Chains A and B, each alone.
Chain A
Amino acid sequence: MARMKFLCDADRCIECNACVTACKNENDVPWGINRRRVVTINDGKPGERSISMACMHCTDAPCAAVCPVDCFYVTVDKVVLHSKDLCIGCGYCFYACPFGAPQYPKVGNFGSRGKMDKCTFCAGGPEADLSPAEFQKYGSNRLAEGKLPLCAEMCSTKSLLAGDGDIIAKIYKERVVKRGYGSGAWGWKTAYKETVAI
């Protein structure tokens, strides 16, 4: 069974933020929330790299383990989703997440942060697939439409890969072999406890 993953080929990412924009638009993400962002490491120094990061849909996801109301569920595609109806906005998933993926609509106001929002791998939420209620809470459900997350599909340099983990790892390996270098599958160790061996 296909296991969904993201892989950002940092040697291709040019920090254009198209993925960030695509995500915001496709999912009608609330103001102040970015489900995906591009982080530049060693900015301005030799060897700088940019990596596009969102929820990695971890194996044995920490966010799901700590949630006090157990509102997470993992689909057959291994996409980590949650129910906004159950979330109490406690912030624990944000403490546990190694990638800073969970976001909250209310900033700085005391106690309640509102319902947590994060990347859904463009796979919606617990409501019926492609229903207006699902779109309103979680955004689009492209997997149900037979598509992949828009961030990856929109990537201007084809740096961001999404889809079946084995297939995208293979694509990445081929690239590395062809061009002779590659700085690795960022976050895979932390998220999936494995890495792309080349």
Chain B
Amino acid sequence: MRLTRSILSFLAMVAMVIGLGLSTPVAAQQGAAINPTAKSVTEDQLLNALKPGSAAEIGGRVSIPDVKSSTLIRPAGREWREFHQGTMHLIGGIAILGMLALLVVFYFTRGKIMIPGGPTNRTITRFGGFDRFVHWTTAGCFIVLALSGLNITFGKAILIPILGEPAFAAAAQLGKYAHNYLAFPFMIGLALMFLIWVKDNIPGMIDVQWFAQGGGLIGKGHPKAKRFNGGQKMVFWSVILGGAALSVSGWYLLFPYTAGGVLNLQFWNVVHGVVSMLLIGAMLAHAYIGSIGMEGAFDAMGSGEVDLNWAKEHHSLWVEDEMKKGVVPAAMQPAE
């Protein structure tokens, strides 16, 4: 039995060798019976079978203990690279430069928004010490995170020509540590911000009216608002939701082995990069209007005491509520 089989296979082999001698295609056909690759996996077949998603990898088994190394080919790396080096730069450029351009145009057309009727010298407490502490912890971390993050994205294009390779690499290393460590106070600040301000940021009909009136910029008269107006509520919710997205995605980038594979890391990096670009753009507008863009606005987060006229203009219902509660606006100078 065994003998006949081996004789048969020997004959087949002879046939194949003869076939080879005649022409290769024939050999391929005749040799099919013993062609060891007839059923073997081919790369093309595997590449074609790849579906986009979390399993777009060609992998197998490795005998070394590092299971991560069992992925043989992961073509998605090239696509991530294109997104990261192309689209993400585009989004960041548009969001940040576009916003800066908009703000400059706005500043020169609309100018600084002044308090109608001028300051009164009478102030009302807008944010207590804790509110301001939370705001500036979060904002301070955000600024460093944004700069060190942008350095990762754009630094090599902008700073290497200026600093040179070694100095830039040292700066980037520092920035990376800053980004890693400040992520934690940022997340804590974000959570506190949510807790202390969410009750005044529930959207309602009054916000619809506020937007309908163009936030007081289009047309005359300032729309009514409670503690936070419609625009501020949008700032609040972008910070909370955007910040949460950055925290979750950033967490996976910080602890890469919890993300469950490189494809997931690519996804989280895209989320992190895109959300941060958009949020940085939004925060530029926020910082503008909270400082040089509007007279009296900065005091709310500076001393915490805002001018009464400013408060009445922008947060009329809130001032009424405070008055009802018996809060008496303090005089900055002895009343006449």
Contacts and interface: CB of A to CB of B under 8 A. Distances in A.
Interface string B159-178: 01000011011001100110
Contacts of B80: 66, 95-96
Contacts of A37: 62, 64, 66, 69
B265 interface: yes
B63 A69 contact: no
A113 B153 CA distance: 19
A130 interface: no
Contacts of A71: 165, 169
Contact of B173 (A43, A88, A108, A184): A88
Interface stretch (A46-54, A116-124, A145-153, A161-169): A46-54
Nearest to B251: A110
Contacts of A62: 77-78, 81
A65 B35 CA distance: 42
A108 to B, nearest CB: 5
B278 to A, nearest CB: 20
Contacts of A49: 40-41
Interface in B33-61: 35-44, 46-47, 58-61
B61 A39 contact: yes
A41 B72 contact: yes
Interface in A6-64: 10-11, 15, 17, 20, 32, 34, 37-43, 46-51, 53, 62
The winner among B38, B41, B70, B253 for most chain A CB atoms within 10 A is B41
Contacts of B69: 34, 37, 39, 100
B114 interface: no
Interface of B: 16, 20, 24, 27-28, 31, 35-44, 46-47, 58-64, 66, 68-78, 80-81, 84-85, 151-153, 155-156, 160, 165-166, 168-169, 172-173, 176-177, 180, 253-257, 262, 265-266, 269
Interface of A: 10-11, 15, 17, 20, 32, 34, 37-43, 46-51, 53, 62, 65-71, 85-92, 94-100, 107-108, 110-113, 177, 180-184, 186-187, 189-190
Given A39-B61, A39-B72, A70-B160, 14 more contacts: A34-B66, A39-B69, A41-B41, A47-B41, A66-B81, A88-B176, A96-B77, A110-B255, A180-B20, A181-B37, A182-B37, A183-B37, A184-B44, A190-B75
